[in-house]
Amino acid sequence: MKQGGSDAAKRAAGEAAAETVEDGAVVGLGTGSTAAHAIRAIGRRVDAGLDAVGVPTSFQSRELAREEGIPLADLDEVSVDVAIDGADEVAGGDLVKGGGAAHAREKVVDASADRFLVVADPTKEAEALSHPVPVEVLPAARSTVAERVEALGGDPDLRRAERKDGPVVTDNGNLVLDCAFGEIADPERLATALSTAPGVVEHGLFVGLADAVYVGSEDGVTVREP
């Protein structure tokens, strides 16, 4: 997993994206250490009088938003104006997400937003996607989906928890297969193949969803519109 970026770079990206949130906006709150900087910055702005409502993408982002005093809503109550979320790898407008196993809810929220802003540090950028693709699966479908992934040329690996024995269980009660495919020549095709496998809840390929990518560094932020 590409986790090598500096916290200063992540913070610069998260805070720059948070600055774009307009008064009255409904904001999709992403998951991970970079999105957390955006949530904290939005929290500071709410504290200073910004009228904004957050739609969390995970248990983690909900907890943080609560701590920061951001009013929250569910997706069946509001529509999202802008979502701000991190990524494990970015190539143009295509992403691999799901390092925090939150990609199913992240995709629902990010794809529903009028604008989806990706926040990342330079270590996440790539010419082509090659990061293993997290695939959330129903527990009963673990082995059938793994066989399907192998048939697609991938190498599935059940994600294991670091601080408990056994697998990672997602916020939705499912398992995650991290599927290495090497360089992904046609992300859209692979995304369709994974989506159509019975038992797949969601995968971490976000193809063509990003409206802008904020890449932070110690020296500032570059914004790309794919």
Ligand X SMILES: O=C(CO)[C@H](O)[C@H](O)COP(=O)(O)O
Indicate the annotated binding residues: 31-34, 85-88, 97-100, 124
Is 87 near ligand X (CB under 6 A)? yes
> Would you state the structure tokens that stand for residue 195, as one six-digit string?
């989506």
CA dist 159 and 69 (Å) reads: 33
> Measured from the CB of residue 175, what is the shortest distance to ligand X in angstroms?
15
Q: Under a CB-based contact definition with an 8 Å cutoff, are residues 97 and 106 in contact? A: yes
Q: Residue 78: how many CB atoms within 10 A of its CB? A: 15
Return the range that interacts with ligand X (CB under 6 A); candidates 71-79, 93-101, 142-150, 187-195.
93-101
Part of the chain binding ligand X (CB under 6 A), chosen from 80-88, 148-156, 174-182, 215-223: 80-88
Residues annotated as catalytic (active site), given as ranges: 106
The answer to whether the CB of 216 falls within 8 A of the CB of 119 is yes
**In the chain, where do the E strands start and end?**
25-29, 52-56, 82-85, 89-91, 94-96, 115-120, 133-137, 155-158, 175-180, 200-203, 205-206, 212-217, 220-224
Q: Interface with ligand X includes 89 (CB under 6 A)?
A: no
The verdict on 33 binding ligand X (CB under 6 A) reads yes
Nearer to ligand X, 23 or 95 (CB): 95
Site string for ligand X, 13-32 (x = CB under 6 A): -----------------xxx
Cβ atoms of 23 and 223 closer than 8 Å = no
Which residues face 21 on adjacent strands? none
Q: Using the rule CB under 6 A, is 156 a contact of ligand X?
A: no
Q: Which stretch binds ligand X (CB under 6 A): 99-107, 149-157, 187-195, 216-224?
A: 99-107
Residues 101-130 that bind ligand X (CB under 6 A): 101-103, 106
For residue 172, report the phi and psi dihedrals to the nearest 5 degrees. Answer: -100, 5
Q: Judged by CB under 6 A, which of 27, 35, 83, 193 binds ligand X?
A: 35
Residues near ligand X (CB under 6 A) are: 3, 30-35, 85-88, 97-103, 106
